[in-house]
Amino acid sequence: MKIKKVYLALLTVIAINIGSIPIAHAEIPSVTVMSRNIYLGADVGTALELIPNLPAAAQYMWDQVKQTDFSNRAKILATEINQSSSDVIGLQEATIWYCKKYPWSKKVEVFNFTEQLLDALEGRYELVSKDGVKALNPGFSINPIPFLTKVNDEQTFAEVFGSSSAACGFETGDALLVKKSDNLEVIEVGNSEYEDSYSIVPTIMTIYRGYSWADIKVSGVPTRFVTTHLESLWDENKVPNSAKQAMQLVSDLSNTKMPVIVMGDFNADPRDPRSKYQPNPGEQPVQSQACHANANTCNAYLIMSQAGYKDAGPDSLDPKNYTWGMNALLTGADPKRLIAAKLMGNDYGFTDRLDYIFSKNGTESISSQIIGIQGDYGSDHAGVVATIALPKQSNVISEKPPAHTPFPISFWQMVIIVLILLTTMLYWRRKKYQIRTTT
């Protein structure tokens, strides 16, 4: 009898414990995303210092593009993507390098970084598109202009143009890639522009920025994905264009009620604007009358945060999570920069956090990491990867963001470019004539 009572008591305990085990909930939908500035391949800042000698600037950039060889970098980036198992990837500096032999010739694609990366991914990913619209937004570009942007490269041009030289330029922008999967269904795609731009040479050379977006069902949950690259250049005692562009982005997405994930190079560190006492090897915006200490209106990162966007990546204030930048040739950290980085607490030569993944509307970051900080470098930036939980059973599809139109070259810009071209041609003809008459 005692044995029977003990047996019954044991069964009761087991039954109670089984009853206390929670019933498994339906799996929470999630998505893994990556933000990756893949680097146009050359140091634009140094090249700009060579202006007005445009041929020298063009040759300088072309030589660096050849040295940083994207065909090799694409393999490194593809390995990172495959290891991360990312579902959606936001690219910045998705660059196409064009060249042409004669003023009347069509420009020819010599390097197309997005296509090269997709080739390296061996068909596992594709450029997001729907109804003929691609999530590929051209931004900053310098057209190939004969004589002005002429470069020499016999190895490349002999086969393409039958000569040793050609006029070259580039177009760099933003792109969204998506994994080929039954759990990912593209609903709609679009591209838009920022109204604030930065002029390097007034009227002639202006940097335009924008963003690409796509609404994609992730395990049935409609989610808006955005990739963008805000302006890096800024003027003293002015609100940086990156901050103005972030304000427009927040406004453009303000009617988005479904989950939204924004990936990008925001060219803003949480420490900006810096005081004169703070280390600033990356030459980020500094404090001024327009941008005093804690001036939230001058910092794109803070603007996103104040608008309710959560930073889904690793702690942006931790120096170990800085994402910029390697030297222009991607051979490692610049020695001077490495010293500054180590003093801050980063052992890899990165001194600023510029790259982020933001999310909003019922999303929660599950895990995140910084990639590309050591070993073979696919870019001068590190990348950010995050797995984000989405709200269950959400069927909301929001109205699409405003379609701000691109900013084409105006009539007067074209007139000035033509005048410069004609002046240059006359100069070289006179030079050749002088050489002939003196020999």
Q: What is the pLDDT of residues 195-228, one digit of tens each?
A: 987 776 654 567 889 999 999 999 999 999 999 9
Confidence at residue 334, expressed as pLDDT on a 0 to 100 scale = 83
Q: Which amino acid is it at 400?
A: K
Architecture of the domain whose range is 30-429: 4-Layer Sandwich (3.60)
Residues 6+ apart with CB under 8 A from 314: 320, 321, 368, 369, 370, 384
Distances (CA, A) of 382 to 120, 143, 375: 19, 28, 12
Residues 6+ apart with CB under 8 A from 401: 190, 192, 213, 252, 253, 255, 256
Q: Which residue has the tokens 């104040």?
A: 306
Taking each helix axis from N to C end, the angle separating 70-84 and 113-120, rounded to the nearest 10 degrees, works out to 50
Buried b (16+ CB within 10 A) or exposed e, 87-97: bbbbbbbbbbb
Distances (CA, A) of 59 to 80, 119, 200: 31, 28, 19
Domain positions in the chain: 30-429
Q: What is the pLDDT of residues 115-166, one digit of tens each?
A: 999 999 999 999 999 999 999 999 888 888 888 899 999 999 998 899 999 9
Q: What's the CA gap between 215 and 135, in Å, rounded?
A: 11
Q: Count of alpha carbons within 13 Å of 187, Cβ hemisphere only?
A: 20
- pLDDT tens for the chain, 439 residues long, are 444 444 444 444 433 343 433 433 458 899 999 999 999 999 988 888 887 888 899 999 999 999 999 999 999 999 999 999 999 999 999 999 999 998 888 999 999 999 999 999 999 999 999 999 999 999 888 888 888 899 999 999 998 899 999 999 999 999 999 999 999 999 999 999 999 877 766 545 678 899 999 999 999 999 999 999 999 989 999 999 999 999 999 999 999 999 999 999 999 999 999 998 999 999 999 999 999 887 889 999 999 999 999 999 999 999 999 999 889 999 988 888 899 999 999 999 999 999 999 999 999 999 999 999 998 999 999 999 999 999 987 788 889 998 887 655 544 444 455 555 556 566 556 656 566 556 5
Q: Which residue has the tokens 């990312």?
A: 86
Confidence at residue 54, expressed as pLDDT on a 0 to 100 scale = 85
Residues 357, 359, 365: CA angle, nearest 5 degrees = 80
- From 278, 285, 277, 281, select the one nearest 335 (Cα to Cα): 281
